[in-house]
Amino acid sequence: MANTATPSPSTQDGKDIRRLVLVTGASGFVGSFLCNQLTEKGFNVRRAGRSVIPINDGATFHTADLASESEWKLALQNVSVVIHLAARTHVLNEHADDPLTAYRSVNVAGTVALARQAAASGVRRLIFLSSIKVNGDSTSGAPFSEGSPPAPEDAYGVSKREAEEALQKISAETGLESVILRPPLVYGPGVKGNFLRLVDAVSRGWPLPLASVNNSRSLVYVGNLADAILACMDAPTAAGKTYLVSDNEDISTPALITNIARALGKRPRLMSFPPALLMLAASMLGKSAAASRLLGSLRTDSSRIRQELGWQPPTSQEEGLRLTAQWYYRRQNP
């Protein structure tokens, strides 16, 4: 794999190289937000992504493909902490002949290559962004916690679980400190996928037959997730731990739609319709997974990270939705 890198400003100017952080997936939704936060906190950030993007803060951008043969030596030089966000993300319209193999080649093999080279380069800690899908796709009673048995239900969740196991093994063998975070749905400025489609539907005033849905789902604002990652960078207690992270404000789908509408300055158009019939119709159209995310519950218990690290989500869900709405309008009217 062809990789390019330039020396970090920290190695050129004699700055404290202990503050040098490598972020993979830096140009993505979470990565771009996190890199800005790190820079504001005084860290020197080395960005790793699939393509070069213009930046104006003097930080290095390193291009790399995430695979078993990826070469990270230059990118890891003098790095203290690696924050590994890059992944083959959950694909709604999967076209790969063998989805699990496709996920494993990036999410497992790519993570193993990065972790082993990080350990060999003297990196102190690697923070891995996993997914709540490691635990499963839904909850019917108690929320998922770190003690819940892993039960991934699709290829993406399986690959994330296997990556976690591989990282924990490498940590035990090499002394590389690993921290694993499992977020639920992440929203905020720059969001894509189903959440953006939902915001768009509410903005356009489309009638949504979801008023009768009685569920509860955990979400996490991108700024809260970035703040949780920052909390895990240096805390001694976090080494070797897995944390579930959320806004700590579970919400039903109708309430979420109502709150999105309020943030957009719109009136929600919710209609009552039997959820069982909605699920049946979705199944007939091959959209069962998407319908489950709207109709089912998925709750997470984020008390462990709050208790052990003293972390609290700095942004309320109401404020997070307001900021998302502002971004959405700027996107529509640049």
Residues identified as active-site? 156
3-state secondary structure of 64: coil
d(CA 39, CA 165): 31
List the beta strands (DSSP E) in 131-217: 177-182, 185-187
Residue 232: count other Cβ atoms within 10 Å of its Cβ. 25
Q: Enter the DSSP assignment of 251.
A: B
d(CA 176, CA 168): 9
The answer to whether the beta carbons of residues 116 and 132 sit under 8 Å apart is no
Within 41-129, residue ranges assigned H as helices are 73-76, 99-103, 109-120
Residue 172: count other Cβ atoms within 10 Å of its Cβ. 11
State the chain's maximal CA–CA distance in angstroms: 64
Q: Enter the DSSP assignment of 42.
A: T
Rg over alpha carbons for the chain, rounded to the nearest Å, is: 20
d(CA 156, CA 133): 8
Residue 37: count other Cβ atoms within 10 Å of its Cβ. 16
- φ and ψ at residue 27, rounded to 5 degrees: -90, 0
Angstrom CA distances, 31 to 27, 50, 129, stand at 6, 12, 11
- State the residue for tokens 């789908």: 253
